[in-house]
């Protein structure tokens, strides 16, 4: 067998393939929006009291600086835009808001030593908290 290892994972009818050693997890995390920071986590509002007491719980729903604008949220919930368009616009909103970027950096720093949960109303994906997790992981 040559040094190139061919790996694949089948998950929800999607196949991820990679021949680059060590990139399978990165590919999987990207495809399924999994955090690469084990202490950065997500949950939803009704789970708040069930989360570990020592954890830092950050509500990212409106009116948080890390929430989507009312206009963007209305566009998505009314069906005027797709989730992909929402994601693009939301990323732009956050990246162009110095207070939001500072908060993301603060959360990244905190999550280096403590469990940090991003909490919103949606139980599952799609929710903007998953985009926030990616933005945090993309910070230098």
CA–CA distance, 104 with 102 (Å, rounded to integer): 5
pLDDT exceeds cutoff 70 at 3:
no
CA–CA distance, 117 with 135 (Å, rounded to integer): 14
Burial class (CB in 10 A: 0-12, 13-18, 19+), 44: middle
Per-residue pLDDT, 78: 97
pTM over 0.75: no
86-129 pLDDT, tens digit each: 999 999 999 999 999 999 999 999 999 999 999 999 999 999 99
CA distances from 40 to 11, 12, 16, 63, 129 (A): 23, 24, 24, 21, 11
Domain regions of the chain by residue span: 1-32, 33-138
CA distances from 88 to 14, 31, 69, 131 (A): 23, 16, 13, 10
């Amino acid at each position: 067998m040559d040094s190139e290892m061919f790996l694949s994972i089948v998950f929800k009818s999607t196949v991820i393939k990679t021949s680059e050693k060590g990139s399978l997890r990165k590919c999987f995390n990207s495809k399924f929006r999994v955090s690469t920071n084990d202490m950065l986590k997500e949950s939803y509002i009704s789970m708040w009291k069930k989360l570990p007491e020592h954890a830092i719980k950050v509500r990212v729903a409106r009116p948080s600086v890390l929430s989507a604008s009312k206009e963007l949220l209305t566009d998505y919930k009314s069906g005027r835009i797709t989730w992909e368009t929402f994601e693009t616009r939301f990323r732009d909103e956050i990246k162009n808001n110095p207070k939001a970027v500072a908060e993301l950096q603060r959360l990244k720093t905190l999550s280096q030593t403590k469990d940090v949960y991003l909490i919103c109303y949606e139980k599952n994906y799609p929710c903007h908290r998953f985009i926030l997790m990616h933005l945090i992981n993309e910070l230098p």
